[in-house]
């Protein structure tokens, strides 16, 4: 009887191991740093556990993520804006993408806010003022109620989704000022404002650090945080997307 139980236990373990090795996949995800920070990174462990798949994640920018997706080097792209605006980020990275060729899976809503240094007296800016600041028409804080000091604009990377959202929605597609200081990521843009009394940047709300920067009051700018696949997702990718959609509800 004991021998039978031992054989049965071994057989069960072998079957379980075989099943795991047969059905577990590595799913590659790349793209928007905002989606990475807000959803993908915090829930990575839970998603791997619930799906049985391993995740290989690269935080870069929306444009880079879409290029990886269309080039076949990733299974899922992270996108932090509507797909038509995301396409602008891919174009900035050097690739025109067909928005009709993808499937878009929204995980949650997010908000873009504009931050200044805590010492800045300016507490409110209209979208018109923000547009003029980012295009260079307004170049001194005294023109919007602040001290006599040149404005330093920090921005997301040129392939970033947050940058594309600001460009299309707030700036109306107008050209960026020549002096805008583009950073490697939207997180880095937020960090630069925290150390510059003259700085301003548009960032995802999750990158705001209390005490290091101040959010100025302005019109609400909401956007989706999403995962995107080229065509219908394969079973492993779909299970990962479904798991993230579930986890995002509690984040």
Q: What is the pLDDT of residues 81-128, one digit of tens each?
A: 999 999 999 999 899 999 999 999 999 999 999 999 999 999 999 999
Q: State the Cα angle at 65 between 64 and 68, rounded to 5°.
A: 90
DSSP 8-state secondary structure symbol assigned to residue 153: E
> What are the residue ranges spanned by the domains of the chain?
25-110+224-248, 111-223
pTM above 0.75, yes or no: yes
Query: Can 25-110+224-248 and 111-223 be said to share one CATH topology?
Result: yes
CATH (residue range 25-110+224-248): 3.40.190.10
Question: Which regions of the chain does DSSP assign to beta strands (E)?
Answer: 26-31, 54-59, 76-79, 102-116, 152-155, 181-182, 199-204, 214-215, 221-230
Mean per-residue pLDDT of the chain: 92
- What span, in angstroms and rounded, lies between the C-alpha atoms of 248 and 105? 12
pLDDT for the residue 4: 47
For residue 35, the Cα-to-chain-centroid distance in whole angstroms is 4
Domain 111-223 has CATH 1.20.120.530: no
The label of the residue with tokens 């959803």 reads 39
Q: How many residues does the chain have?
A: 251
């Amino acid at each position: 009887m004991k021998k039978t139980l031992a054989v049965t236990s071994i057989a069960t373990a072998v079957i379980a191991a075989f099943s795991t090795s047969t059905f577990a996949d590595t799913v590659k995800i790349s793209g928007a740093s905002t989606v990475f920070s807000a959803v993908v990174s915090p829930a990575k462990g839970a998603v791997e556990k619930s799906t049985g798949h391993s995740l290989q994640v690269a935080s870069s920018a929306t444009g880079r993520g879409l290029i990886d997706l269309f080039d076949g080097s990733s299974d899922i792209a992270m996108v932090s804006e509507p797909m038509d605006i995301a396409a602008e980020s891919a174009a900035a990275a050097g690739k025109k993408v067909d928005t009709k060729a993808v499937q878009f899976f929204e995980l949650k809503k997010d908000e873009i806010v504009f931050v200044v240094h805590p010492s800045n007296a300016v507490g409110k800016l209209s979208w018109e003022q923000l547009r003029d600041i980012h295009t260079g028409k307004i170049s001194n804080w005294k023109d919007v109620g602040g001290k006599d000091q040149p404005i330093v604009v920090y921005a997301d990377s040129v392939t970033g989704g947050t940058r594309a959202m600001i460009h299309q929605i707030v700036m109306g597609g107008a050209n960026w000022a020549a002096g805008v200081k583009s950073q490697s990521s939207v997180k880095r843009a937020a960090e630069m404002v925290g150390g510059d009394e003259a700085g301003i940047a548009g960032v995802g709300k999750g990158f705001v650090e209390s005490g290091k920067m101040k959010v100025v009051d302005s019109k609400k700018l909401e956007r989706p945080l999403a995962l995107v696949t080229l065509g219908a997702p394969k079973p492993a990718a779909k299970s990962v997307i479904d798991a993230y959609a579930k986890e995002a509800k509690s984040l």
